[in-house]
Amino acid sequence: MARNRMPARISTRAILTGAVLFNVVAIGLSEVQRRGLIYRAEEMMIRLDQNRNHETVAQLARLQKTVDELDKQIKDVSLSVASLRIIANVALNVDKAKLATRVADRLNDGRPVVILFDDNAREDRDQNGHIRCGPSTQNGYLGAFVAGGQYTVSYNRLTHQWTGSGPAQSRPSGKDSGSCLQETAIYGPKELGKTITPADAVVLWGAQFKLDGLALLLDGHPVGRVVWGD
């Protein structure tokens, strides 16, 4: 008896996403890697057309995962490009006070900024070198914040509320990522006990960071920097 063939469940969006990413994946990949990845995709599509079986579907699922990872790499590179643009501004002797003012203006306009904390060996790590997560770690190097972690901060000048999102070290690790789970929290005059504007500090989860140009200072010590993409 002939086996019933299972249709491959792969969306048009996934295929189009892959096609687009193949055209921009030159970032971070060698020519040999790019050709190999494209060859694998073409081979799988031919096999899918000829024999729609579980194995082919599984391979396509793995290919989609690879595409998703490449998409993340491209986004990371975009952030790095933004960082390099800022470093170039500093190298061109842009006044630190002007840089801090640009950050404040951006926040007052309702646009978010990205905070990138510096990595630090003082973080509690497991045997594989990954930063530990969980309630027992929240009193570590940066408290609830993860060294090397990326956070998004925005400010509402009508309510004077600060919204911050990013990995919380007091939360457990994600099953797939292994990184501390994300958290979003809002702090305003009620929680802070007073009104704090971007001219005063950058507020993330109640912590107040002073700006030295684009450097973030906590209790006078540099712990990270502000990055934005325009």
- Cα-to-chain-centroid distance, residue 126: 22
pLDDT digits (tens, 9 = 90+) for 160-204: 999 999 999 888 887 776 688 999 999 999 999 999 999 999 999
Instruction: Specify the pLDDT at position 175.
Output: 72
Mean pLDDT of 36-49: 61
pTM: 0.60
pLDDT band at 139 (very low <50, low <70, confident <90, very high): low
Strands 150-156 and 113-117 turn out to be antiparallel
Strands 182-187 and 161-167 turn out to be antiparallel
pLDDT at residue 1 tops 50: no
40-44, 94-98, 105-109, 147-151: the lowest-pLDDT one: 40-44
Percent of the chain at pLDDT > 90 equals: 33
pLDDT digits (tens, 9 = 90+) for 46-70: 665 555 556 656 666 676 677 666 6
Cite the DSSP H helix spans in 25-178: 31-50, 54-91, 96-108
Instruction: Specify the pLDDT at position 97.
Output: 85
pLDDT digits (tens, 9 = 90+) for 74-133: 555 555 565 555 555 554 546 788 888 989 999 999 999 999 998 887 777 777 777 888
Instruction: Specify the pLDDT at position 32.
Output: 59
pLDDT band at 136 (very low <50, low <70, confident <90, very high): confident
pLDDT at residue 45 tops 70: no
Instruction: Specify the pLDDT at position 55.
Output: 60
And the tokens for 3?
């086996």
The DSSP bridge partners found for residue 164 are 153, 185
